[in-house]
Chains A and B, each alone.
Chain A
Amino acid sequence: MKFWAWVAGGLVALIGAALALLFVVDALPVFRHSGFGAYLFGSEWFYRAERFGILSMLYGTLAVAAVALAVATPVGLGTAIFLAEAPLPRRSRLLIKSVVELLAGIPSVVYGLLGVLVLREVVFRFLAPWEPLSGDTLLTAGLLLAVMTLPTFVTLADDALRGVPAVQREAGRALGFSRGEVVRRVALPQALPGLVAAGLLALGRALGETIAVFLVVGRQDNQLPSPWWSPAPLAASGQTLTSKLGGAETFLAYDDPLHWGAMSGLALVLVLLVTATTLIGGRLLVGRGGIRAARG
């Protein structure tokens, strides 16, 4: 049994490494063509002019994920505290939790359709004073992702909070803390690493989500804020790493080493981003508080 576990584990690691290597090899022509820095930080992507700079897509991906986290973390934290700390009967607690987890099981294309039919309209009206060009904006994509990442965050945050030993809560109560004070001064600080991990894993999901974002982000190239901190592009359409990869351009790039390299580079950057956030999140989760404590 142990032997097979090693073989399976090794195989998975091997596949992961081979995948990353493949992207690196495929992306080499574009790194040679533009230089690595110009590829990462170039602000113009015009494939027919062989100008490949992915900064606007990096920006789109990070902006959309930031909006998603900014909305999902406060709401999710509130839900998690309610689930873990409120004096609920076990049965209704499980019911609420399974409803939240059910949200995670809805296929993302369904979220995308809801986004096209409902959220675009709502955001367009909301942004009316700023005269948006359409309802396809980075904000729309971010809000949609917030709903999609919420279940991930709630489940993990709930586990982290429940991982805080009951003895510590009781000690807090014995010292005269109210229920709210126990949450604020005992449970939340103890569960912090687990909560940060929940946020990072939700971020990983937000970075990699494709189809729902694809349908509402507008897919307009070369949209960058000016000055760099301006929130204006949130109310305009944009492009993310995933929405670019999900489009028809991937098929055009086929058989053209340079263009294909540019697309592979997008995949490589995306994989690195998602892997990094997930690894850090997972490390935090297993390291302290989090899952191990919840099981103990």
Chain B
Amino acid sequence: MLLKRRLGLLAWLLTSSALFAASSSLRVVGSTTVNPVVVRAAEKLKAEKGLAIVVDTQGGSSGGITALADGRADVAMASRPLTDGDRTKYPKVDFRPVEIGVDALAVVVAKDVWEGGVRALSAEQLRSIYDGTFKNWQELGGPDRRIAFFNKEPGRGTWEVFVHWLYGDAKKAPHVAHLEVGSNEEARTKVASTPGGISQLSAAWADGRRVFPLAIRLPDGRQVTPTKEHLADGSYPLARPLLLITNGPPSATAKALLDYLLGPAGQELVRAAGYLGLRDGAQQAAPLPQKGTRPTRSVGALLAAPFPRPQP
């Protein structure tokens, strides 16, 4: 009898302490692009201030926003701007995005395509790959190899930014069924190991050894590579903000995380991960209504920021 009671007590203690631990740590969920920066910041904050921050990439940017909206996360990570769609879908959520850096979205190809001579693609050519008109790299001046297009899953920030650039609106993108990949790691591994492979991938993950970032051919014929310089001068068209989003004002722990990431040490982490920091002059990523207000933490400014538009 006594044993039973003790077991019960033990079980109760275990469950209640587990619940307590879960509620006291800050849950950050979303984009695999933002993830490495936040993971490192969380390690630093745990070591320096003893803050408990749990980071997870389930579902990518839209997964993070969904988790934020239904209370499974305290902070969402997103590698795309917030859209009207997000706000109409979750009218009760008070989205408060904070931009922590800027990333270039690269189009990467496998080694055989790169060495076969494909170094740049235009938006028109990418549309033809996306809708399935082009099926062989020969049609694009490359090797005689089928185009293995690994599409980022719809719902991932990378996919949304990509189709917004190509079609002006994700809703207008053609209904296609491609091979699909989820995280950045998966996209990189699969393109690297598949002859004829191509995918959309954060430029910071395009290492130039396993996968090769293509230049974008602009309508005026210029070829722009996804480098930090071209991000900073605004010539590379596929730029996107890296966001952390809270529902309403951030909690104490969330505020500590945001302050750290916006401070010099955090911005160094952003740069070390291969992204552009906030003071590195990236005007193009998310044009703001008023110039010269960056870095910004104003909700309205970021909500108003449109997607990067296709070149006319």
Residues of A within 8 A of B (CB): 45-49, 116, 120-121, 124, 131, 133-136, 215, 218-223, 237, 247-252, 254-256
Q: Is the CB of B66 within 8 A of A218?
A: no
Q: Is the CB of B177 within 8 A of A220?
A: yes
- Can you name 11 A-B residue pairings with CB atoms under 8 Å? A45-B177, A124-B194, A133-B146, A133-B148, A134-B194, A136-B179, A223-B177, A247-B153, A251-B62, A254-B70, A255-B89
Chain B 182-194 against A: per-residue CB contact (8 Å), 1 yes, 0 no? 1000100110011
- A248 CB contact (under 8 Å) in B156, B171, B193, B194: B156
Known: A48-B175, A133-B146, A219-B179. A251 touches B155 (CB 8 A): yes
Closest to A124 in B: B194
Tell me the bound Cα distance from A230 to B173 in angstroms. Answer: 31
Q: B266 near A: Cβ within 8 Å?
A: no
Q: Is the CB of B153 within 8 A of A249?
A: yes
Tell me the bound Cα distance from A261 to B58 in angstroms. Answer: 21
Tell me the bound Cα distance from A48 to B62 in angstroms. Answer: 15
Tell me the bound Cα distance from A130 to B179 in angstroms. Answer: 18
Tell me the bound Cα distance from A136 to B178 in angstroms. Answer: 12
- Beyond the given A134-B194, A136-B190, please list 10 additional residue pairs across the A-B interface where CB-CB is below 8 A: A46-B175, A48-B154, A48-B173, A136-B179, A218-B179, A219-B179, A220-B177, A221-B177, A247-B180, A248-B153
Nearest chain B CB to A118 CB, angstrom units: 11
Q: Is the CB of A248 within 8 A of B60?
A: yes
Q: B90 near A: Cβ within 8 Å?
A: yes
Q: B81 near A: Cβ within 8 Å?
A: no
Q: Is the CB of B179 within 8 A of A222?
A: no
Q: B63 near A: Cβ within 8 Å?
A: yes
Q: Is the CB of A254 within 8 A of B180?
A: no
Tell me the bound Cα distance from A136 to B150 in angstroms. Answer: 11
Residues of B within 8 A of A (CB): 58-60, 62-63, 66-67, 69-70, 89-90, 146, 148, 150, 153-156, 171, 173, 175, 177-182, 186, 189-190, 193-194, 196-197
Residues of B within 8 A of A255 (CB): 66, 69, 89-90
Residues of A within 8 A of B62 (CB): 248, 251-252
Among B59, B156, B173, B196, which residue has the most Cβ atoms of chain A within 10 A? B59
- A251 CB contact (under 8 Å) in B66, B171, B178, B196: B66
Among A219, A237, A251, which residue has the most Cβ atoms of chain B within 10 A? A251
Among A121, A135, A248, which residue has the most Cβ atoms of chain B within 10 A? A248
Nearest chain B CB to A107 CB, angstrom units: 17
Residues of A within 8 A of B171 (CB): 48
Tell me the bound Cα distance from A48 to B171 in angstroms. Answer: 7
- A131 CB contact (under 8 Å) in B69, B146, B178: B146
Q: Is the CB of B190 within 8 A of A249?
A: no
Tell me the bound Cα distance from A116 to B181 in angstroms. Answer: 12
Closest to A133 in B: B148
Nearest chain A CB to B273 CB, angstrom units: 22
The list of the 3 closest CB pairs from A to B, nearest first, reads A248-B155, A221-B177, A251-B59
Residues of A within 8 A of B90 (CB): 255
